[in-house]
Amino acid sequence: MDQVKISRALLSVSDKSGIVELGQALAAQGVELVSTGGTAKALRDAGLEVRDISDLTGFPEMMDGRVKTLHPKVHGGLLAVRGNAEHVAAMDAHDIGAIDLVVVNLYPFAQTVARGAGREEVIENIDIGGPSMVRSAAKNHESVAILTDPADYPLVFGGETSLDQRRKFAAKAYAATAAYDAAIAGWFAHVDQGERFPASVVVPMIKQSELRYGENPHQIAALYTQAAGGVNGIAQARQVQGKELSYNNYNDADAALELVSEFRDGPPTVVIVKHANPCGVATGATLVEAYEAAFACDTVSAFGGIIAVNRPLDGPTAEAISGIFTEVVAAPDADDAARAVFARKKNLRLLLTGDLPDPARRGRTMKSIAGGFLIQSRDNGALGDLKIVTKRQPTEQELADCRFAWTVAKHVKSNAIVYARDGAIAGIGAGQMNRLESARIAAWKAKDAAEKAGWDQPRTIGSAVASDAFFPFADGLLAAVEAGATAVIQPGGSIRDDEVIAAADEAGLAMVFTGIRHFRH
């Protein structure tokens, strides 16, 4: 059967959005409406004639509504194969009427969990009858239409459905019940049972958009968000202007937002990212001062980069950013002057994020490997007490620069070396196979920046240097000394720590150990 006329519809929804309009449209087509509890009341209050589910089944709703649709006269009417003589005979023998349309959305389990409800209330918001009807109707989609999304209601206003529609409805319905069950399973495992890594992991996600292509033009890509309980970030940002975001835009913008969020309670801060690595980071008295200092870190890499800021954008900052080609700018908000400036750059994407993510939030990250996935807790480790391991004590300014460099190094691909001075990055060495090369690259970039800016000396002179993991040998430390660093922050923990500390003492450095590392692979 292709076209199926809807003669009887069963409506039982938690979210009442659009249900009255649907009921009115179906009633106008002569469809019999069968409903339950609050849904039936909403329809009757709108003046519609509704048959109670208890009248259909011959049994009252009972056990606080836990049992109302779990009945052969419901599921028989959904599952019966219309062209099967035995099924038709069974329907006749047991007075089971066919149901052509089911409209169901489920108890708000995820929302109940999100608002911090107690265990008993959470359990009561596990829907049983709803998913059962959804699955029955979806299985028999040759004859029955199942609607789980209010956005689809207008598609059946005409009182009939096509086979192509019913197939699409069924696919959407099974995805909805799968996501629902995944949320329940996740709550039981992580919250109720306190398991860090349960035996089975299902991550329900909802497609937001298909992208032009992936990392490269021969790859395809799409953006998905978590079905419930996720953090607001780049995926939820409001795009004010500019062309469609690409896979790489999302990836780089996420890297920039995560780093600038480390400074969400700090002074005005600007982060510039290129290929998921920061190439400029600085704080300042104003946002435009912070941008100018961040841009000076690496004026070459900043071209075509991604910028994130921790304050609402103003006109002067927007004017400064507009001085070069920039792919994406992410900010909590932007004033009218900033928006007017960016409006002249039609291809620039302006993303407004609202609140910045909490860098200390819990969560898990996932990475695919051949044949599987690696899942780990987020790197939300924060600096605690620093252990001074050299003879020379660091000054207050050196300690501040150490902390600043360390915060940025957390977001640089390993092996990572970061020089910082006076609240601005001086040089970054990222992604090298040994730490010595990262130290040399960072120093070279700082020297290059000084030449381009016309400074007397690179900003590595008198800087603090951060290493995301311990120095396995003294050579990386000595490269930092050659670059002019006067203070070092690193995790410590190498079997050659004594050798590295001795080299620092000989060079007159101040060095602190964090006891925590930040590999980023």
Name the token pair of 313. 């954008």
Residue 281's pLDDT is 97
Strand order in the sheet with 101-105: 51-52, 32-35, 8-13, 101-105, 145-147
Query: 272 burial class (0-12, 13-18, 19+ CB within 10 angstroms)?
Result: buried
Residue 228's pLDDT is 64
∠ CA(28), CA(33), CA(38), 5° rounding?
120
Question: Model-level pTM?
Answer: 0.84
Residue in 391, 381, 396 with CA at minimum distance from that of residue 468: 381
CA–CA gap between residue 185 and residue 201 (Å, rounded): 8
Q: Where are the beta strands (DSSP E) in 382-460?
A: 387-388, 417-421, 424-429
Residue 200's pLDDT is 84
Helix 37-45 × helix 19-28 angle, to 10°? 70
β-bridge mates for residue 419, sequence order = 427, 465
Residue 411's pLDDT is 95
Which sequence positions are flagged as catalytic? 139, 275
Parts of the chain with a pLDDT under 50: none
Residue 413's pLDDT is 94
Note whether 277 and 289 are within 8 A (CB). Answer: no
The one-letter amino acid at 172: K
**209 Cβ contact partners less than 8 Å away, ≥ 6 residues apart:** 222, 223
CA–CA gap between residue 426 and residue 419 (Å, rounded): 5
3-state secondary structure of 161: strand
Residue 186's pLDDT is 87
